[in-house]
């Protein structure tokens, strides 16, 4: 079957240009609904997605000719990878495309938390000039624990290298590496030494809800907590308890277990989360820059072209 790709989400035109140059056929249908995609997917050998819909067993059953699914993004949690493996459908992520964006965003959130930028900005807008209440903390000399050391974790470590911090990285799947930006560590060392923790791991059956009260209780020092991976890995009430007890000094969430309104506002932890000055939130945009929009599409296109040629 000739390679024909269905692109079901909004991508940068660089991808289409690259496919044109490589002579690859595609249908660019960024507004297609899942129902419409289900009707036509059997005609395609490849698919490009972002976060639009879950590619589950029901969808795979309608796609007997599919050889690959590429994601113009990093996380592949909206694809059933077990079914993909069973059906020999290659999954192609493009995580190199937004790692810089995520690293910069998470460091921005951290610096903002450590220097009270959000509350002080709001205070000035409401006529309050409070200096002592806004005394900040410095990052220099602290230890940052990275949990997950793939593309995103490594980009974060590299960006932290100018801050005079110690970076400890734990990755269950990368034992025995060394690089100039982070020191490999087990979780025991991170629990003991980290002042800041940042998660760079995917959402899987194993990681779902893993950041709970017991997990957070293992950290021996008060920590700043950063989450820019997937909201599904955290139990938000556990972080709120840590903020109450002082074992968490501040928390930054670019992702939440439930995203978008109105569902987010219906969560029983939402009101408690948003009332706090030492919490900073962004709407799943850490990897969402003008530059990453281009790079994600460019990298996904290059990987698809290489896969098709192989
Ligand atoms: O495309 C998106 O909406 C998600 C972006 C990001 O979380 C990713 O997995 O690359």
pLDDT digits (tens, 9 = 90+) for 167-206: 999 999 998 887 999 999 999 999 999 999 999 999 999 9
| Residue whose CA lies nearest to ligand 1 atom number 2 | 51
Percent of the chain scoring above 90 in pLDDT: 96
- pLDDT of residue 3 exceeding 90, the answer is no
User: How big is the chain, counted in residues?
Assistant: 310
Mean pLDDT along residues 41-65: 95
d(CA 185, CA 176): 10
What DSSP letter does each residue of 184-236 carry, written as one string? Answer: E--HHHHHHH-SEEEE-----TTTTT-BSHHHHHT--S-EEEEE-S-GGGB-H
Class of 4-93 in CATH: alpha beta
Closest atom, ligand 1, to C-alpha of 284: 7
What distance, in Å, lies between the first and last C-alpha atoms of the chain? 15
Structural contact between residues 41 and 89, judged by C-beta atoms closer than 8 angstroms: no
User: Ligand 1: which of 10, 11, 77, 287 to mutate, most ligand atoms within 8 Å of CB?
Assistant: 287
SS3 105: helix
What percent of the chain has pLDDT above 70? Answer: 100
* Inter-residue contact 93 to 116 (CB < 8 Å): no
Listed in sequence order, the residues at least 6 apart from 22 whose beta carbon sits closer than 8 Å to its beta carbon are: 305, 308
Domain definitions of the chain by residue range: 4-93, 98-281
Q: Would the CATH topology of 4-93 be identical to that of 98-281?
A: yes
Provide the ipTM.
Answer: 0.91
pLDDT tens sequence across 132-157? 999 999 999 999 999 999 999 999 99
Ligand 1 atom 3 nearest Cα: 51
Superfamily of the domain at 98-281: NAD(P)-binding Rossmann-like Domain (3.40.50.720)
**Nearest ligand 1 atom, CA 9:** 1
Q: What is the pLDDT of residues 67-111, one digit of tens each?
A: 999 999 999 999 999 999 999 999 999 999 999 999 999 999 999
CA of 74 to the centre of ligand 1 (A): 6
Q: Please give the model's pTM, rounded to 2 decimal places.
A: 0.96
Contacts of residue 292, defined as CB under 8 A and 6 or more positions apart, other chains included, come to 97, 98, 100, 101
């Amino acid at each position: 079957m000739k390679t024909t790709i269905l692109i079901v989400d909004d991508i940068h035109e660089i991808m289409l240009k690259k496919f044109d140059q490589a002579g690859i056929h595609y249908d660019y249908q960024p507004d297609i609904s899942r129902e419409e995609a289900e009707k036509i997917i059997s005609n395609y050998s490849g698919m490009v997605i972002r976060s639009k819909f879950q590619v589950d067993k029901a969808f795979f059953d309608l796609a007997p000719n599919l050889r690959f699914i590429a994601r113009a993004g990093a996380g592949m949690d909206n694809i059933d990878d077990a079914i993909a493996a069973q059906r020999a459908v290659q999954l192609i992520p493009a995580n190199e495309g937004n790692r810089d964006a995520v690293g910069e965003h998470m460091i921005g959130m951290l610096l903002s938390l450590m220097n009270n930028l959000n509350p002080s900005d709001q205070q000035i807008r409401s006529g309050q000039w409070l200096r002592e209440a806004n005394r900040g903390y410095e990052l220099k000399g602290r230890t940052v624990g990275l949990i997950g050391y793939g593309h995103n974790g490594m980009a974060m470590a590299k960006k932290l290298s100018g801050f005079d911090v110690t970076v400890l990285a734990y990755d269950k799947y990368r034992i025995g590496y060394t690089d100039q930006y982070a020191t490999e560590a087990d979780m025991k060392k991170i629990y003991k030494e980290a002042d800041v923790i940042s998660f760079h791991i995917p959402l899987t059956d194993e990681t779902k809800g893993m950041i709970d009260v017991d997990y957070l209780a293992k950290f021996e020092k008060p920590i700043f907590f950063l989450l820019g991976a997937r909201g599904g890995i955290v139990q938000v009430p556990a972080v709120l308890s840590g903020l109450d007890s002082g074992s968490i000094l501040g928390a930054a969430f670019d992702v939440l277990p439930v995203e978008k309104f109105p569902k987010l506002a219906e969560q029983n932890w939402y009101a408690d989360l948003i009332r706090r000055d030492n919490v900073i939130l962004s709407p799943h945009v850490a990897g969402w820059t003008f530059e990453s929009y281009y790079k994600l599409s460019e990298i996904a296109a290059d990987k698809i072209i290489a896969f098709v040629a192989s």
